[in-house]
Amino acid sequence: MLTAVAFSGGPASTAVLRALPGPVTAVVVDLGQGGGVVAAAVRAALAAGASDAVVVDARDAFADDHCLPALRANAPHADPRPLGAALTHPALATHLVRAAEHLGATRLAHGRPDSHLAAALAGLAPGALVPSPRTPTTAPPMTGLSATTSLWDRPGATPPEPAEPTIAFDRGTPVALDGETHTARQLLQELARRTGAPAARALTTAHRALEQLTLTPAELRLKRLLDRRWTQLVHAGGWSTPLRRDLDAELADTQHHVTGRVTLRLGHGPAVVTARADDPPVSRRASTGQRCRMAPDRSAPVRSAPAEVHAGTAS
């Protein structure tokens, strides 16, 4: 029987791979770790004795299905704790199960028995899970490899040059950078490159500033409550729950008027909003009937908070 192992290249997944009997295929899910991490994990899997290694390019799906909901909830502002595994592990579980089906594997394994990954797999494919062997993991992890690093929280490779990019949003979804249309994945990658910091920080700073411009005070109060509830639930391992899906729908309903552009000042330190405009201008629907204030923004600065399966044996 073929076993598919969720493999990051770290000591825990390496120890599990080595301990499993029979044919084992290492499944490396690319969530935007970058820096040659995925290729290094494939090499490590084969060196550890895997019969084969496959790479699942899940970057676009992860950006659309996991990062955008986190953005709508302004997750870094709602809770200063990094989402990390709470965001990536449910995605890893989904793509591991799909890869196993594609490969014909009847058993699943991983090296994180007490994690969000274990909980997600238990919900998706409980009958296929192989108990994780309790093996020593004293070897140091490979540099840069992490089951929680992703498009959402991976920093840029080099310190940034000062810049003032403009991000365009359509109903709460970022769609363009400096007038150039991007997918969510492309925009996250480009922002990380420009800021030298996780894209989530700059992007949620811009999104939150546009919400402050386009939502009424009553809507903002409700939105902040929803933000906190969503983030707390995901941190607690509730990604796969019906409540999280209900909160996603509620958050999406708040975004109908969150369309416009936000300019950020990027450099050393947190991103700062320098201009914002709704596009097209919409009424705040407040009792005064006043229209939204356009760029430049002279209020207090808003600062950021401090798959397809490609299979084959790697050569």
Q: Name the residue among 102, 100, 147 with its Cα closest to residue 127.
A: 100
Same domain, 47 and 176: no
CATH number at residue 264: 3.90.1260.10
- pLDDT of amino acid 118: 86
Same domain, 65 and 171: no
Dihedral sign from CA coordinates of 8, 31, 145, 153: negative
- pLDDT of amino acid 301: 41
- pLDDT of amino acid 197: 74
Q: Does 251 fall in a domain?
A: yes
Same domain, 268 and 171: yes
DSSP secondary structure code for residue 150 in this structure: -
Condensed to tens digits (0 to 9), the pLDDT of residues 132-179 reads 666 554 444 444 444 567 899 877 666 567 889 999 999 999 999 999
Domain boundary residue among 150, 181, 208? 150
Same domain, 132 and 206: no
Same domain, 219 and 127: no
Mean pLDDT of 82-110: 92
Q: Does 297 fall in a domain?
A: no
In this structure, what is the dihedral angle of CA atoms 129, 131, 137, 141, given to the nearest 10 degrees? 10
Q: Does 132 fall in a domain?
A: yes
Same domain, 132 and 246: no
Same domain, 90 and 44: yes
Instruction: Please check the confidence at residue 296 and state whether its pLDDT lies above 50.
Output: no
8 A C-beta contact, residue 73 and residue 251: yes
Same domain, 85 and 216: no
Tell me the C-alpha distance between 168 and 177, whole Å. Answer: 6
- Which band of pLDDT confidence, cut at 50, 70 and 90, is reported for residue 116? confident
Q: Does 315 fall in a domain?
A: no
Which residue segment(s) compose the domain that 16 sits in? 3-150
Q: Does 291 fall in a domain?
A: no
Same domain, 135 and 173: no
Condensed to tens digits (0 to 9), the pLDDT of residues 270-287 reads 889 999 999 766 554 544
Q: Does 34 fall in a domain?
A: yes
Total residues found in the chain within this entry: 315
Instruction: Please check the confidence at residue 269 and state whether its pLDDT lies above 90.
Output: no
Which is higher by pLDDT, 266 or 203? 203
CATH number at residue 49: 3.40.50.620
Q: What is the overall mean pLDDT for the chain?
A: 83
Q: Name the residue among 137, 153, 197, 162 with its Cα closest to residue 17.
A: 137
Supply 152's token pair: 């959402």
Q: Does 233 fall in a domain?
A: yes
Of all residues in the chain, what percent carry a pLDDT higher than 70?
81
- pLDDT of amino acid 148: 60
- Which band of pLDDT confidence, cut at 50, 70 and 90, is reported for residue 112? confident
Condensed to tens digits (0 to 9), the pLDDT of residues 13-41 reads 999 999 998 899 999 999 998 878 999 99
Mean pLDDT of 203-208: 95
The residues near 151 (Cβ < 8 Å, ≥ 6 apart) are 31, 32, 59, 62, 63, 67, 185, 188, 189, 192, 199
- pLDDT of amino acid 289: 41
pTM of the prediction? 0.84
- pLDDT of amino acid 182: 97
Same domain, 44 and 138: yes
Instruction: Please check the confidence at residue 199 and state whether its pLDDT lies above 70.
Output: yes
- pLDDT of amino acid 270: 82
8 A C-beta contact, residue 51 and residue 22: no
Prior bond of 280 cis (ω within 30°): yes
Same domain, 51 and 141: yes
Condensed to tens digits (0 to 9), the pLDDT of residues 37-94 reads 999 999 999 999 999 999 999 999 999 999 999 999 999 876 777 888 899 999 999 9
Condensed to tens digits (0 to 9), the pLDDT of residues 213-253 reads 999 999 999 999 999 999 999 999 999 999 999 999 999 99
- pLDDT of amino acid 133: 63
Mean pLDDT of 257-282: 87
Q: Does 226 fall in a domain?
A: yes
Prior bond of 296 cis (ω within 30°): yes
State the total domains in the chain.
2
Same domain, 243 and 142: no
